[in-house]
A and B are shown apart, each in its own frame.
Chain A
Amino acid sequence: MSSVTGQRSGVEVRLEELRRTYGAVTALDGLDLTLHPGELVALLGPSGCGKTTALRLLAGLEDADGGRVVVAGLDVTRVPTNKRDMGMVFQAYSLFPHMTARQNVEFGLRLRKQDGARRKKRAEEMLELVGLTAQIDRYAHQMSGGQQQRVALARALAIQPTVLLLDEPLSALDAKVRAQLRDEIRRVQLGVGITTLFVTHDQEEALAIADRVGVMRAGRLEQLGPPTEVYAHPQTPFVAEFVGLNNKLAATVDDGEAEVLGQRIPLVDKSFRPGAAMALIRPEAVKVLSEDADEGVVATVLASSFLGAISRLTLDVGGAGHVIAQLSTADALEHPAGSAVRVRVRPDPVLVTPVD
């Protein structure tokens, strides 16, 4: 996550007990979410978890079956979309094909009856903000996907909305453009200080730019918190497995602790029933020591994956099966494939799941 700089402004947004069903399918099941003024909250989750539904209810593009949407203290649940004063960037390219970039950005300003000179100035400012002054008179089909989404962002911000909504705006872009635009969006959002809801299924995007990440599943929030907390301290097995990589190691639970790889580690959920379980351990929580260390269990390095500054080692820990450890490449080079090592786990509270 980028460090937050700049003055915070924007409005508070509250989604209170939001419900939405489509026939027999419950898309949102009593969602409670508050966005603080000026913050960027990312809703993360698999397809069908309700994150886009939540965003569309906030935008007014769909009607809630229950609950309220409150923006800056006002209940806007029954207010039509065009009266909610929110800017939105869509997953699908949404620029109006018959208008140039300038005309697209001016569209909302024209609806607000701004005079020509002001509209022109504002459009130029917004396109400069997203770095597209050179494309100002181009049509959508004359621009790349990344450029189109930048224009869409400029268009959404031009009307000075109270809230910015981003519905998987980077999904249709290739990886390199996605990373660049992701940082661009964050830079612009911090500069403007607008309260923003960002929906994505890509955890890297969510963790990289959000002030808080909400992980959703089956219409409910599983966990909401800063990216470092959601990643390092997942509160449910679903969050642990969805966000980041995990090792699933055989464990024995007893008295609020789990025995894993010969170590006793405290549980996140101390009420978990005693007996056999599977412990979820992050690769970076697995420490690889030299063979002659006086702690840890014996293991053999099966393979090494080079990922740049970090590497991942696949280890055979005998009865515990295979374990993946993540460490710096410099450290990994000391343990080539075939070498014997010792392995221990960082003693942070661990999540466990029932045996499959």
Chain B
Amino acid sequence: MTDLSQTGAIAGAVVPPGPPRPGLRARRRRTLLLLRIVVLAVLGAFFLFPLLALLEFSTRGVGEDSPRTLDAWGRIVTDSTLIPAIVSSLQLAVITSVVAMVLMVPTMIWVRLRLPRVSRVVEFLCLLPLTIPAVVLVVGLVPIYAWVRYLTRTDSILTLSYAYVVLVLPFVYRSLDNGLSAIDVRTLAEAARSLGADWFTVITRVVIPNMAQAVLNAALLCVALVMGEFTIASLYNYVNLQVAIAQAGLADANMSMAVSLASLMFAFVLLLGLSFVGRWRRRHGKAAA
């Protein structure tokens, strides 16, 4: 045991540790900051290098010593299959987001407020698509799509939105569930009811505005997922953005890389915009900090 007689304490006594000295605190702060920078740098490099590689490949000229060129990027807008594929993917993204929100937002609010006993069942059903591989999903949806094509009399790529709504369910569920958990839905609903609101008003004017960030998160997740979906579209022989990229890669690798990078940056900008919207809402008092 440490001899504390020099400090005037009884030798052998155990002295509890006091607060760290100011110099030690500053050193710890510097160490933590350095650690944060190193972790961010390593992770940043992990994500950035593949993007840089895509950029490098997509700007290569023809021939060994040829200069860098943006020709591949220019070919994006002139390719006859790529633009329709981009438009189709964007349309699918919008339709899937809207249908998923219209389906899930009122359902989850209603379950939270009035049917808490079925919440576990809803959670199970919504998370189920995560456990089913896309190939299995496609095989299972074949008879469904036979009926879809028969009833809608169309073979449009937009019918993929039915499958995509199922595919995005787990992500939409989680996002909306987090949003509902962050607010005291029950008290807000009861307060609104006591003031004379009917259930429609409670949902549209009280609950949804307070989970707007969660709804936005869920919608943008839908967009990112649909824009990046390949397997289902490919197996159903539809040409969406990712299928078009894969096909372009067989004939024009540079352009294929350019489109891949552009779609990744698009998703990145979307999600970055999401975080800025959230920050703006908090700064302007629209949401609690």
**Measuring CB to CB, which residues of chain A are less than 8 angstroms from any residue of chain B?**
59, 61, 80-83, 85-88, 90, 92-98, 100, 107-108, 111-112, 138-142, 152, 155-156, 159, 165
Contact = CB atoms under 8 A, between A and B. Distances in A.
Contacts of B201: 111
Interface in B171-215: 183-184, 187-188, 190-198, 201, 206, 209-210, 212
A92 B286 contact: no
A88 B196 contact: no
Given A97-B288, A98-B286, A111-B201, A88 B192 contact: no
Contact of A111 (B188, B197, B285, B287): B197
B26 interface: no
Contact of B209 (A85, A88, A98, A156): A98
Nearest to B186: A92
Contact of A61 (B188, B193, B197, B288): B193
A28 to B, nearest CB: 19
Interface string B247-289: 0000000000000000000000000000000000000011111
Contacts of A93: 184, 187
A112 B183 CA distance: 26
Main secondary structure of the interface of A (DSSP, over half): mixed
Contacts of A155: 195
Nearest to A139: B285
Contact of A96 (B188, B193, B198, B285): B188
Given A90-B187, A94-B187, A96-B206, A108 B195 contact: yes
Most buried by A among B187, B196, B198: B196
A220 B193 CA distance: 28
A51 B198 CA distance: 26
A55 to B, nearest CB: 11
Nearest to A98: B209
A59 B194 contact: yes
Nearest to B282: A141
B1 to A, nearest CB: 40
A90 B197 contact: no
A159 B195 contact: yes
Nearest to A83: B196
B194 A96 contact: no
B188 A94 contact: yes
Contact of B285 (A59, A94, A142, A156): A142
B184 A92 contact: yes
Contacts of A97: 183, 210, 287-288
Nearest to A56: B190
A97 B213 CA distance: 13
Contacts of A141: 285, 288-289
Nearest to B201: A111
B194 A87 contact: yes
B196 to A, nearest CB: 4
Contact of B191 (A94, A112, A138): A94
B206 to A, nearest CB: 6
Nearest to A86: B194
A98 B204 CA distance: 13
Contacts of A156: 194-195
A95 B190 CA distance: 11
17 contacts: A61-B193, A80-B193, A85-B196, A92-B184, A92-B187, A94-B190, A94-B191, A95-B191, A96-B191, A98-B210, A98-B287, A107-B197, A108-B196, A140-B288, A142-B285, A156-B194, A159-B195
B191 to A, nearest CB: 4
B215 to A, nearest CB: 13
A44 to B, nearest CB: 22
A90 B198 contact: no
Contacts of B285: 100, 138-139, 141-142
Nearest to B191: A94
A80 B289 CA distance: 35
Nearest to A112: B196
Nearest to B209: A98
Contacts of A85: 196
A85 B212 CA distance: 30
Contacts of A95: 191
A144 to B, nearest CB: 14
A159 B183 CA distance: 25
B183 A88 contact: no
A135 B67 CA distance: 64
Given A87-B195, A96-B206, 19 more contacts: A59-B194, A61-B194, A82-B195, A88-B191, A90-B190, A93-B184, A95-B191, A96-B188, A96-B192, A96-B209, A96-B210, A97-B183, A97-B288, A98-B210, A100-B285, A108-B195, A108-B196, A111-B195, A141-B288
Contacts of B187: 90, 92-94
A61 B186 CA distance: 11
A112 B198 CA distance: 12
